Each structure stands twice: as C-alpha cells, then as structure tokens.
Amino acid sequence: MDQWKIPLYRIYTDEEDEKIVNKVIKRGHTWAIGHEIEEFENNLQELVGTKHCVAVNSGTSALHAALLAHDIGNGDEVIVPSFSFISTANSVIFVQAKPVFADIEEQNYGLDPQSVSNKITKNTKAVMPMDYSGQSCKIFEIKEAIEDQNILLIEDAAESLGASVKGKKVGSVSDSATFSFTGNKVLTTGEGGAIVTNSDEIYEKLKLIRSHGRVDKTNYFDNPLDPNYIDIGYNWRMPSLIAALGISQLAKFDKIIKMRQEHAQYLNQRLAKHSQIQTPNPSEGYNHIYQMYTIRLESKQIRDSLKEFLLKKKIFCKVYFNPIPLTTYYRSKLGLGTGMLPITEKISEQVLTLPLFPNMSSEEKTLLSDSIDEFFEK
C-alpha cells in the first residue's frame, strides 16, 4: 500500500486490539481453541439479532458450510448474482450443485426479485443474494418472490455486517446468512467469517462441519479421552487469536461505521456537481455502512478513463465487480457468455470503487475529490 498516496482501504486499529491479542499470546496456550471464540460468536449474534452464530476461518468457508448444513448438493440449483465476489458462485460448485445466475436491479445492485422469480425451476433449492458494498439487497422482496415454494434463503452478507433495512439488521431475515472479516471489511480480523441462523438444527450441523465432524463438549486439547466423530467435517475453525481481535473490533464497530458514513457524506457532497457521476446514496429505509464507496459513471469509456487517471496519480481504485459468468472458468464450465444478464453487464462497465476507510484524513479526501474535479474539468 505504500506505493499509493491513497490506498483503497486502511484498517482501523488501536491499542485495545494489541492488548487483547497480546493477552492471548502471553497465556501460552489455547491460541486455537479458547473462550474468545464463543464470546465473539455471542457478540455477533446479539448484533445481528439471531439465535445462533458459528465463527469460521473465512467468508468462503462460511458460504460453503452454510450450503452443506442446509443439505444442498448434486442435482440442486442455487440462484446467485453474478455481480459479486467469485466465492458466492464457487461455493455452490463446491457442494456439486449448479449456480444459476440471475440479474441485478439498478438501485442497490442486488438480485432483482423479478429475475429471481424467472429463474426458479423444480430443481431450485435456494436463493443466495449478496448485499453489495454495505447496503442490503431487496431482501424482503426476494423473500416474497420465493414464499411458499420450499426454497431456502441463504444470504451472502460478507460486505454488509451492521447494515439494516426496514429496521432489521442484515442477516436476520434469511434462513442463514454469512459474513466475512477479511482485510477490507468494516469489521476485520485479517481473515475470518461467520454464519448466523435461528435454526437449532442448522447450528448443530455447522459446529460439526467446521471441526472434523467432532462433538466438542470440552476443549480438544484439555480432554484426555478420544473425541466422538459423528460426521464428516472440515478444519474451518476460527483461532482464538483471531476471535480476540474480532471482540476488540466489535467494541468500536459503531464508531467505525459512523466514520465511514461521514466520509461518504463528504464525498457525496463534493461529487454532486458532476452530472456524469451517480454517488451511492441509500434507498429509503436502508442504512448503508459503506464497506465500499462505489460510484457509477455514464459510460465504460468515462469509467475506464477516470480509473486510469486516478491510478496515475497514485490514488487506488478498482472495479467491483466484473460478471462471474464472463470469467474463463464459468464460460467453459457452464457455457455462459455475454447478453444473458443485461443489467449486470451494464452496471459492471460503469462502476468504480474509490478509496474510503475510517481513518481517512481530510487531506486524503480533498486530494481524491480535487483529482476527480480535475479529471472532469480538463
């Protein structure tokens, strides 16, 4: 990141993060399986408003585990967006099911409920919407579209922990929802993930899936007896070191969100004079936490020119996302191509994610805004 005058993100950290992690290090044991994991899970489920939470080692593992816990597999179809990080679709491949790509809507850049309805077949087992950049998708409308059809709603909320819609926290409306805590997220532990659910059955399955199919009634390393393995599972546990950092990050979570929202408001005001730019203003009833600050330009040509201009000024920016079906793997695997998802393809050619992070300085915000002014005034 040192090569950039303004990086895409910078992690917000303080002495409390160092203290809690050092405390775990200095005790000399249970770095892997300690009480911090359960505390972190309890804090997360309280934040989201669900009955259960299971922490794992990544957001991708969380998606994979959620699908396994809901018994999705060979012969099943899962409706997913293509305007997402690739693990949304890959996780469906992991369980030998088929990802079916639906189009997105132009307001929140989430799955279009009507497109979801059009993609439902007798093999549809689940819909897996993604909450883009810190704002919920149209989750209530999607839920209504699949109502009474015995279709699961598994939400990829990797980018939107803490956001809400109509007074409900992201992740609390679905059958299960997953989160990611990788480096650029609002709450970050470097890597990590979690699944939340209100189902006792799914919760018990998730605990087996993340830890070798083992019944963990006591700490594995404090138990002299052989454990009981009752199913096939993975090693997807979150270490205590990571959970401790999560606890500390959660303690300042509201502060971090407020800082992001204030920076976004500043950028919205500064960029409002440019008619070629659509800034990320949330829809009514939606609370946006701005995990990313993504603008939309009038055309691909303008977007690409602005991107090149900013990069030359050492201001990092990036396209989130290019359509998953147009990647090499999915073209060859599913025989997909252009023209199948017109809104997704249009949006992906016009969006550009700009730097935004909690400890963004006034000088950095001014440089970013002045540089965009310079581009449009040249």
Cα angle 60, 21, 157 (rounded to 5 degrees) comes to 25
Q: Which of 281, 208, 215, 220 is nearest to 54 (CA)?
A: 208
User: Is 169 in the same domain as 23?
Assistant: yes
Tell me how far apart the alpha carbons of residues 133 and 351 are, in angstroms, rounded to a whole number. Answer: 12
Instruction: State the DSSP code for 222.
Output: G
pLDDT of residue 1: 54
pLDDT digits (tens, 9 = 90+) for 299-335: 999 999 999 999 999 999 999 999 999 999 999 988 8
Q: What is the pLDDT of residue 226?
A: 79
Whether residue 80 is found in the same domain as residue 31 = yes
In this structure, what CATH number is given to the domain that contains residue 370? 3.90.1150.10
State which amino acid sits at residue 308. E
Residue-level pLDDT at 334: 83
pLDDT digits (tens, 9 = 90+) for 103-148: 999 999 999 999 999 999 999 999 999 999 999 999 999 999 999 9
Write down which residue in 236, 251, 266 finishes a domain.
251
Of the residues 216, 251, 286, the one at which a domain ends: 251
Beta bridge partners of 294: 353
Q: Are residues 104 and 81 in the same domain?
A: yes
Provide the CATH number for the domain around residue 125.
3.40.640.10
If you search the block for the tokens 């989130």, which residue do you land on? 320
> Is 2 domain-assigned?
no
In a domain, 9, yes or no: no
Of 216-220, 230-234, 343-347, 363-367, minimum mean pLDDT range: 216-220
pLDDT at 341 over 70: yes
Domain stop point among 235, 251, 267: 251
Contact 196, 170 (CB under 8 A): no
Residue 168 lies in a domain: yes
- Is 256 in contact with 248 (CB distance < 8 Å)? no
Q: Rounded to whole angstroms, how far apart are CA atoms 133 and 109?
A: 9
Same domain, 234 and 265: no
Confidence of residue 217 (pLDDT cuts 50, 70, 90): low
Beta strand 124-127 with 152-156 is parallel
74 vs 67: CA distance, rounded Å: 12
293-297, strands of its sheet edge to edge: 277-278, 293-297, 351-354
Residues 211, 268, single domain; the answer is no
Q: Say whether both 138 and 174 belong to one domain.
A: yes
Domains contained in the chain, number: 2
Look at residue 337 in the predicted model and tell me its pLDDT: 78
Euclidean distance between CA atoms 266 and 180, whole angstroms: 27
Domain of 285 in residue numbering reads as 253-377
Q: Please indicate, yes or no, if residue 125 is contained in any of the structural domains.
A: yes
Same domain, 167 and 58: yes
**pLDDT at 218 > cutoff 70:** no
**Residue 100 pLDDT class (50, 70, 90 cuts):** very high
Q: Looking at the structure, do residues 104 and 176 belong to the same domain, yes or no?
A: yes
Q: What is the mean pLDDT of the chain?
A: 95
In a domain, 41, yes or no: yes
Together in a domain, 72 and 216: yes
Looking at the structure, do residues 44 and 178 belong to the same domain, yes or no? yes
In a domain, 165, yes or no: yes
Query: Is residue 41 domain-shared with residue 183, that is, in the same domain?
Result: yes
- Residue 354, beta-bridge partner list: 293
Average pLDDT over residues 339-357: 96
The CA-atom distances, in angstroms, between 125 and each of 99, 104, 117, 197, 300 are: 11, 20, 13, 17, 36
Burial classification of residue 211, based on how many CB atoms lie within 10 Å of its CB (0-12 exposed, 13-18 middle, 19 or more buried): buried
- Does residue 2 have a pLDDT over 80? no
Residues 164-184, mean pLDDT to the nearest whole number: 97
- Residue 198, by phi and psi: left (phi above 0), alpha (psi -120 to 50) or beta? alpha
Q: Is the pLDDT reported for residue 237 higher than 80?
A: yes
